[in-house]
Structures are given as C-alpha cells and as structure tokens.
Structure 1
C-alpha cells in the first residue's frame, strides 16, 4: 500500500470532488483517478460511489478513512522524530568530565546553556579521569569529554582535542607555610617539599604534568600523601601535611587556612580541552562543541 495513494484517498474523501481534490494535491485528475483505482484493486473493495455528478464514500471507504488518517499521522510523527534526532533536538549526549573541570565557571554555564537550548536531549554526566575519558571516547562509550591531555596515554588518531581554557597551575599550601611570605615562587623552590598528589595510577593529567615539570628541573616530587578527589587534596593541604600543585579552578574550594599562589614560571600552565571523535555525525555533539567554544 503506497503512502501517496492513502494521501490521495484522504483528500478525495474530504473533498468528495475530483477536480477540487486534484487542485488541492497539485496534480491533474487522471493520476488521482488511477491512484484511487489502484488502491481499490489492492484492497479488493470499492471506496467511492461515483456518478457523473457526485462522489460519495462507500461503507468500505468510511472504514478506511480513520485508519488512513491514523497511518498518515504516524508517518508524519515518524518524520518529525527523525528530523528532531538528526537536528539534535532529542536523543542523548554522554559527557565525560574531570573532577577539577567541574569546578570551572565554564562547566555550569555550558551545561545550563545546553540544557536550555536542547531541553529534550538527555545529558549523561560521567566523572572520569582524562585517561579514562580518552579510552571511553575511543570505545564510543562517551560522546564528548572535558579533559586535560595526559602524557602517559597515547592519543587515538580518531579523536579531536580543542583547547577550551588555559589556566595557571597554582601552589596550594597552609597559610603558615614559609613560602607564603616569598615575593616570588618558582617550581624549583619546591624541591624537597612534601607534596600531596593524585595517585600516579589514577590517570590524572595534572599529576603527570607536575611530575614532568619537576623532572625538567631535576627533581621528583616528594609525595607524602595521595588523594583521589580535588576537595580532599585541598582539605589535606589545610592540615599542613604538604603542598599541592592544582589548576586555578580549584581556588573555588575555599577552605580556611589554605593559600593559593601563582608560580613565576612560564610553563606552569594547564589546558582544559574538549574532545570528541573525528567526523562524528551526531549533531548533538557538534552543537555541544560549538556552544562550548562560544562560551569559553
């Protein structure tokens, strides 16, 4: 059964006039008559009583009318659903983010703006390390990631990494630490200082960057305590147990007794990236990335 035949049937059933129906459909009367005849042949029933002056629905025509309208309405709905999916109006977006990136002012603005623009898109938020996000993006388990580039994890060639935010690495320390009185602090001054850091195996890019920056200056951080979460890292710094190098966004964790200072080194900066698969045709991904770049 052709959809076009059903469309012609419904219009003729509403107009009960071949010329008016043909004009409404934008065709001549001949293809309209042929379509109705083909539909009647397929169904094995007459749908209209025809005379030279009148057209009227048969009992079979009345029976088909409601079904035809329902079928056409479902087809229109299916078209609309497909359009909304393709245009990014509905569906699901799986977003990965690091613990530290969620504290950036950009993060809540981005999520709120996207939810406002795409209220029918379900956003799945997944807190993961940078290395874990890269693995899941490559495995198509995530759509977009907010991460920092790890040094130990190979970057798959099918992923695109676009810089979103560059910020300094800050020295977090207890307010009574002697370095709080220094007019200038360089990373080399931290040699021998007790560090509080993320676990090496956690795949946190900032930790890898800290180790690399210290190695560039000829020493290895003396880690006395590890912490999984950014808030724990800052909280332990408040005890005076050690110092920590953290992205500037962690200043949002305001804990009494903790002081943040910038380092006077040109290379002690870290970059937050937005990552996705190259050539991903998912319009929700494209829209999210475009919005992130517009808000940065």
Structure 2
C-alpha cells in the first residue's frame, strides 16, 4: 500500500473520473488504473463498482475512504513537519469555505498575510455549502474549514460575530417595519439560503415552534437577494454575507425581532494532527480577526 495508491483512491472518490485524476496528479490514465487495481489486490476487496456506467464506490470503499484520507493527512503532516524543521516552508494547504462571509470577508486578509509569511505553500480553497464544508472536514478532504459556531464535532477558533437579518421585497408591507418577527416571515413564501446559515435558521424557526413555507433553496446569497427583489419570497441571511458593493432595487433589509446573532470560525478535527501550515493559518486568522 503506497501513498500514490491512496491518493488515487481518494481523488477517484472526489472527482469521479480516471482522466480527471490523471490530470490532477500529472500521470497517465493507465497509471491511475494500475494504482487502483494494485490497492484493491493488496487489500483483497473491490473499492469501485465496475458494473455501472459512472464511477461508484463499493460499500467497503465508502467505509475505507475516511481511513485512506486520514493516512494521507498524516503523511502530509510528516512531510510538512520535516519541511518546517528544515526551514523550507513548502507544501500545500486545503481550506473549506462557504458563502460570502468566509470567502469575501474572512479569507482575503488572512490569505494576504499567510502568503507574505509562507510564499511557497500552495493554498487550495474548496467552496461549497455549510454541509459540504462540515463533511470535508470530517473526511479530512480539507485541512480545516470555516463553519458556523458552535460545533462540538470539531476544535474551533471563533473569528467573527454578526447578526441575522430579514430580506423582504421593497414594495411589500414588511418593508415598512423597523424590525421583523419570525412569525411574520412565516406568512410569506420563504427562500432558504444554504450559504452559511441554513442550520441556524432552521433551528431558530424550530425553537420558536414555527414552520416556514419554503418555496426554494439557494446556494448563493446573490441569488437569494435577486429572488426576494423580484417578490418571489422572503429570506433570512447573515448580515456579513450581504455584498456591500451590490445595490439591488426592490430589496429591503431589516433586523429580526428579537435579534439573533451568528458566529463563524475555523474548525478542524484534531490540532495535534494538524500540519504546521494549518496551525500557522489558524494563528494568522486569529491575528487578522481579533474579536
């Protein structure tokens, strides 16, 4: 069992294509096939289901994937520990990010300082929904990621606190209110954003004994804003997720009553197993966003 074999297995599960994996690793497609076959022979179990048109993991493949990624993460840690000792500061760092809050507000100053201090470390930013980032951290697909706090599944480092606000059509009755209650939003079609706040929003309604009439779900805050501006429904988003440079006629933003706050921070599984690059990133993040 080699690192290349485990990397091929992990990337096939992520990219779902032999050609894509070959391009990512800079090797031939036949080398990818050979590496997977050798790993299956070594383990004595099939990792991919070859009876389907698309690449699908077998049951045992799904079970072994997190273990493979854990081993890959540890080997990367060993390599970067050695590089750190030698003063090379080389390697790579993969970050999970969701929505404008982490991608546009939190990341830029952190990355600027990180690249200044560690110019030879390549940083990969994987963007997805809240649930995507959580899954990536759990499966060690990323070294660390931005999450909505609190999350007891991870070691976390708070960076930002903001509040949730209501988005309502500018021409509707709700736009005349200084503050908006959750019960008022339940009287309209609701657009659920999955760009950083959906679990928190769902919990707010649940705790209040309310059930919103969800008409659509969006993965981008701009899409949510555009739908509300066209009177397709109402929504709740985090204040820091609203792009400040975007003006959207027909959209009104109002605070909730009572106020509801949200915290965002970095999360990882185990700081003791984190790479030097990941620990340095956390330290710079805390310096850049002192609370």
**Which TM class, normalised by the smaller chain length?**
0.5 to 0.7
Specify the alignment match of 2:236 in structure 1: 245
Kept after mapping to 2: 8 A contact 1:103/1:249 = no
Specify the alignment match of 1:125 in structure 2: 125
Kept after mapping to 1: 8 A contact 2:149/2:158 = no
1:269-280 alignment runs, 5 A limit: 269-278=261-270, 279-280=272-273
2:280 is paired with a residue whose SS is: helix
Following the alignment from structure 1 to structure 2, what is the Cα–Cα distance between the partners of residues 287 and 88?
A: 14
Kept after mapping to 1: 8 A contact 2:89/2:121 = yes
Following the alignment from structure 1 to structure 2, what is the Cα–Cα distance between the partners of residues 270 and 247?
A: 7
Kept after mapping to 2: 8 A contact 1:98/1:127 = yes
TM-score by length of 2: 0.64
2:237 is paired with a residue whose SS is: strand
1:168 pairs with 144, 150, 163, which one? 163
Specify the alignment match of 2:188 in structure 1: 193
> Quick check: which has more Rg, 1 or 2?
1
1:290 pairs with 280, 283, 290, which one? 283
Alignment deviations for residues 10-56 of structure 1 (CA, whole Å, 9 cap, x no partner): xxxxxxxxxxxxxxxxxxxxxxxxxxxxxxxxxxxxxxxxxxxxxxx
Following the alignment from structure 1 to structure 2, what is the Cα–Cα distance between the partners of residues 281 and 223?
A: 39
Query: 1:257: Cα distance to partner?
Result: 2.1
Kept after mapping to 1: 8 A contact 2:97/2:103 = no
Query: 1:87: Cα distance to partner?
Result: 5.5
Specify the alignment match of 1:220 in structure 2: 211
Q: Specify whether residues 249 and 225 from structure 1 end up closer, same or farther in structure 2 by C-alpha distance, changes over 3 A only.
A: same
Q: Specify whether residues 225 and 176 from structure 1 end up closer, same or farther in structure 2 by C-alpha distance, changes over 3 A only.
A: same
1:208 pairs with 171, 176, 199, which one? 199
Q: Specify whether residues 90 and 259 from structure 1 end up closer, same or farther in structure 2 by C-alpha distance, changes over 3 A only.
A: same
Query: 1:128: Cα distance to partner?
Result: 2.1
Following the alignment from structure 2 to structure 1, what is the Cα–Cα distance between the partners of residues 179 and 99?
A: 29
Alignment deviations for residues 122-171 of structure 1 (CA, whole Å, 9 cap, x no partner): 001100223222222222211110122598xxx54xx3122211110011
1:262 pairs with 249, 255, 260, which one? 255
5+ residue gaps, structure 2: 1-80
CA root-mean-square deviation = 2.4
Specify the alignment match of 1:89 in structure 2: 89
1:100 is paired with a residue whose SS is: helix
Kept after mapping to 1: 8 A contact 2:167/2:253 = yes
Following the alignment from structure 2 to structure 1, what is the Cα–Cα distance between the partners of residues 145 and 139?
A: 13
Specify the alignment match of 1:20 in structure 2: none
Following the alignment from structure 2 to structure 1, what is the Cα–Cα distance between the partners of residues 203 and 88?
A: 41
1:162 is paired with a residue whose SS is: strand
Q: Specify whether residues 184 and 135 from structure 1 end up closer, same or farther in structure 2 by C-alpha distance, changes over 3 A only.
A: closer
